[in-house]
Amino acid sequence: MEKVYKYGRGNFKSIEDGNELLWMIGNGVGGFANHTVAGGGAQCFHGYLVASLNAPVNRTLILTRTQEIIEIDGREYDLTSQQYIGTSKNGQEYLERFVFDSVPEYMYKVEDINIKKTIAMEYGHNTVVVCYEIENGLDQAKLRIVPLFNYRPSTDVSEKNELKFDMAVDDRKLTLIPDIDKEREIKFYTSEGEFYDRSLIPTSMATPNYLIEENHYYMIDHRTGFLGVDNHYTPYEVQIDLEPFEKKKFYIKCTIEELDNKSGFDIINEYKHRAEKLVRQAGLEDRFANNLVKAADHFIVKRESTGLKTVLAGYPWFTDWGRDTMIAFEGLTLVTKRFDDAREILESFARYIKNGLVPNVFPDKNTEPGYNTVDASLWYFQAVYQYLNYTGNEEDYNFIKEKIYPKLKEIYEAYSTSTDFSIGMDEDGLIHAGGGLDQVTWMDVRVGDYVVTPRHGKPVEINALWFNSLKIMEILAKEFGEDNTQYKELAAKVKESFNKRFWNEKKGCLYDVVDEDDDRIRPNQIWAVSLPFSILDREKEKSIVNVVYKHLYATYGLRSLSFMDKDYKNKYIGKLFDRDCAYHMGTTWGFLIGGFITAYCKVNDYSKDAVWKAEHMCKVFEDTMRDGCINGIAEIFDGDFASTSRGCYSQAWSVAEVLRAYANDVMPYLNC
């Protein structure tokens, strides 16, 4: 049974408390809805309909949210919870409870009126519904619903003079056409009530502009160095009369597609039933794992350019990235038994391989992807290998042989000779990569001409992955009736060179980069232990795990640099430059815990004590899944006292690696 998340008034005693908690749901084509538990916006991304105009990218804010006002016998109660410049509305004081059960549910109480408000997206469509269930009390009352519209990139804010739309009202349907995109129609429908033109509300110099919701202040954006001030368009409100003791159910719908007659309540039920079906399909029968299965679903989306599935690296701003996809692949698609999606993802990225490189990032526009990554192609081998381990049917091997194996050979040829970004093999069989301003490993921050973590040379994880890839090619070549001698012999050479060059006897672990002999203690070495094919002896593997645990383990992941290093940065906060300088210099990364747990269990032979400890390392993530983004795991946390979600509030490889490690390294051994 999966967990339903419930929050009471103690979680939103103040608007600031409520703004620290947020929810997010996706629509399978790159769009999403997200907002705070308090009910207002704390980041520019927060909106009920962030549509993907070119799946899964070009994400655009369409409907910011709906705000509710109750009128009872001349008394007015504004349920809006929002910070503004210099002031705030505290409608969360009427919020009795917030529940997240695959979709968000707000439960308000005003005098003797009860209001339940539920938000859901229609899967596969850029459509959102807001459903209301109301029980009126003793007096006649009126509910006023104010929709806030916009049309801007989800990463931006709007000036008042930019909010220009053509509009038309037809009975219960409102159509808006933004001035900046005359081809786009925003359709808004209400199943109950009447539209009221807000320009008719009396106004003066002392009263607000009722057509613009002005000066939203975004607390979290401001904290990370942005101005965080926004405006939204509010031309109409929906007014609904409530008779004494009347019970009423109705919904509103907003879409940039064709408006149909499907009930909002049906859309909610479909969304929840689909999530439950995914849980049953995964068959893990564990509450923690089931919630991770649901979380994983939001990252698997359709890519318009291929007609196939891809993986969004993180919400709310990342697109589909090759490195992140391949690391998250097993947890998102194989552990969850989404094998059709797995095939599509492998094929989708195969189509874009160029000069032996899997794309690093797909941009928002219809332009060429970026290829500045050395590890995505090597993680691709691992994804293919695990796909066959989970499936293993004749048709799966045929798919790999026909669609994927030629691409693997292309990657092998490129890496064993040379390709872009100074990627190539030296005489010792090891791979070198990068140079100058190029940043091609996952520690890739560059601020102008300042390279924060230059790892040019032979990075440790790249060569562990290279050995892993050669062993996989050795197996596949034999399976497909080809001579595998070249892969076998080169793998042996790489193993010998790796042990000779990377082992740091003084520190009992691996150098991070050679030929520079960078002996900083970083987490990249853990993959030399956790990958399927062992490149080191058990004694060295155990020493590495012990060193990494001491220097890097930080509850919600591994630090990117030892806390004892003179250049260690303990906080990821402040302006972009400050955050970039801390990103890979001590910041804790959630996804790294997966490789560590696998390595930890391996070197301890999956003993009971080791598995129990691994279970603890997984289960502590239940705590962070209750705050930050509900049922998500953030991209990063601070190096010291890792607690507050930083970066993307829900990250594909964070969710995927916790799920993979828990399902593979913990669950099968708990009752042994």
Q: Mean pLDDT across the stretch 108-134?
A: 98
**pLDDT more than 70, % of the chain:** 98
**Would you list the domain boundaries of the chain?**
5-272, 284-419, 421-536, 553-671
- Residue-by-residue DSSP string for 386-417: HHHHH---HHHHHHIIIIIHHHHHHHHHHHHS
pLDDT at residue 207 above 60? no
Distances in Å between the Cα of 276 and the Cα atoms of 73, 291, 631, 633, 663 are 43, 10, 15, 20, 18
C-alpha–C-alpha distance, residues 489 and 291, integer Å = 44
**Which residues lie closer than 8 Å to 327 by C-beta, 6 or more apart?**
379, 591, 653, 656, 657
**Rounded to the nearest 5 degrees, what angle is found at the Cα of 146, between the Cα atoms of 145 and 147?**
115
Q: Mean pLDDT across the stretch 397-422?
A: 97
For residue 363, what pLDDT band results from cuts at 50, 70 and 90? low
> pLDDT tens for residues 287-341?
999 999 999 999 999 999 889 999 999 999 999 999 999 999 999 999 999 999 9
**pLDDT more than 90, % of the chain:** 89
pLDDT at residue 208 above 80? no
When the pLDDT of each residue in the chain is averaged and rounded to a whole number, the result is: 95
SS (H, E, C) 18-45: HHCEEEEEECCCCCEEEEECCCCCCCCC
C-alpha–C-alpha distance, residues 220 and 20, integer Å = 8
Q: Mean pLDDT across the stretch 111-130?
A: 98
Q: Mean pLDDT across the stretch 641-665?
A: 96
**Whether 48 contacts 104, CB under 8 Å:** no
pLDDT at residue 244 above 50? yes
Comparing 572 with 466, the larger pLDDT belongs to 466
Q: What local confidence, expressed as pLDDT, does residue 203 receive?
A: 61
User: May I ask the CATH class of domain 5-272?
Assistant: mainly beta
> pLDDT tens for residues 486-542?
999 999 999 999 999 999 999 999 999 998 778 999 999 999 999 999 999 999 999
C-alpha–C-alpha distance, residues 68 and 78, integer Å = 6
> pLDDT tens for residues 150-178?
999 999 999 999 999 999 999 899 999 99
pLDDT at residue 1 above 60? no
Q: Two tokens at 527?
A: 């993959």
Largest CA distance in the chain: 86
What's the pTM? Answer: 0.96
Q: Two tokens at 329?
A: 């692949």
Least confident of 197-206, 406-415, 639-648: 197-206
Least confident of 25-39, 369-383, 564-578: 564-578
C-alpha–C-alpha distance, residues 59 and 444, integer Å = 24
For residue 223, what pLDDT band results from cuts at 50, 70 and 90? confident
Q: Mean pLDDT across the stretch 562-578?
A: 91
